[in-house]
Amino acid sequence: HGHPVRIPNVICMHEEDTGILWKHTNLEGRSDVRRARRFVVSYFSTIGNYDYGFYWNFGLDGTIEVIAKATGIVFVGAGEPGVPQRHATELAPGVFAPVHQHLFCARLDVAVDGSDNRLVEVDAARVPMGPENPFGNAFSWTETPLGSESAAQREADTSVARVWEVQSASRTNAVGRATAYQLVPQPTALLMADPASSVAARAAFATKHLWATAHREGELWPAGRYPNAHQGGSGLPEYAAGDAPLDGPEGADLVLWHTFGLTHFPRPEDWPIMPVDTAGFAFRPYGFLDQNPGMDVPESSQAHAATGSGSAAGSACCGGGDACTCGH
């Protein structure tokens, strides 16, 4: 029967199915599909009234995904029932919760095919109608090198599908392009506190979606080693103050710092215990590999014979087109 054993300061590691990895149905009606799996490294931290789960997901397509899960009990105060408040929403009669933010910063000590890396900002770009775009439906992209620590303090822009690309300075792929990984942000509002506030001074990391610094030992804390005890300037502002170059001829040993999170307008459904809300980002290969790494993933062991119309008796179920019965 055994007894439970408490082990402090541990992480959870497991593998889970995540649906379809890739799928295609050809003109003859034959379908091929492979299921996706990911390896998950996670842990939960309880900080005051909130509980935060941090999940690092490693996928079969080479993507690294980071997800933060916020749950727990929202911070509340009393108020006059039914009377609107400017800074708080009413969750239950007389129970109000202030609007607030959960902003995290992920430190990514990158090494894409080595420590000689470069950082580039990639934006989609419209192409005006003209001889090179007669129908107006073509568009392109721009690549802007971020060559110093000050130049690499950036904000996300969903209007141009902005991503940040870490390229190798020495390695190329099968088509001659630098091997790379892209940091793909999710929409996140930056710090809403007034720039003159003590919060903004102490949490300056949250005023930008991206910072990049040269690797230096001991630089680990985006808000400083003691975020509640300094007057401002510690952490990333201090790390980037020297404005070190990031675009040397042999690249640089880069560290990316990515701000992501939630702006929370509390609702009645968040009371008395808040269901999980999530925020995150992806770090995915872009020319780091020469083809889809999932091409050699075996067919699901749950595939079985299909006998419906459109497939031959005894054939694999996923070869049956619309007659598929295996749930893929």
Q: d(Cα 285, Cα 131) in Å, to the nearest integer? A: 34
Model pTM score? 0.90
Q: d(Cα 299, Cα 282) in Å, to the nearest integer? A: 26
The pLDDT value recorded for residue 327 is 52
**Nearest to 277, CA basis, from 285, 265, 288:** 265
Query: What residues have CB less than 8 Å from 121, skipping those under 6 apart?
Result: 143, 144, 145, 146, 154, 162, 163, 164, 165
Residue 324 tokens read as 């598929």
The pLDDT value recorded for residue 312 is 41
Band the pLDDT of 305: cuts 50, 70, 90: very low
Residue 314 above 60 pLDDT? no
Domains of the chain: 12-73+100-264+273-297 (2.70.98.20), 303-328 (no CATH)
Q: d(Cα 48, Cα 151) in Å, to the nearest integer? A: 37
- Amino acid identity of residue 59, one-letter, is G
Residue 318 above 80 pLDDT? no
Band the pLDDT of 252: cuts 50, 70, 90: very high
The pLDDT value recorded for residue 317 is 55
- Amino acid identity of residue 218, one-letter, is G
Residue 75 above 50 pLDDT? yes
Q: How would you classify the pairing of strands 163-172 and 117-126?
A: antiparallel
Average pLDDT for residues 160-182, to the nearest whole number?
98
The pLDDT value recorded for residue 303 is 57
- Average pLDDT over the chain reads 93
Residue 278 above 80 pLDDT? yes
Lowest-pLDDT choice from 12-16, 108-112, 178-182, 321-325: 321-325
| Maximum CA extent, the chain | 78
Residue 315 above 60 pLDDT? no
Ordered strands of the 210-214 beta sheet: 100-108, 254-264, 210-214
The pLDDT value recorded for residue 264 is 98
The pLDDT value recorded for residue 328 is 53
The pLDDT value recorded for residue 274 is 98
- Amino acid identity of residue 126, one-letter, is R
Over residues 176-199, the pLDDT tens digits come to: 999 999 999 999 999 999 999 999
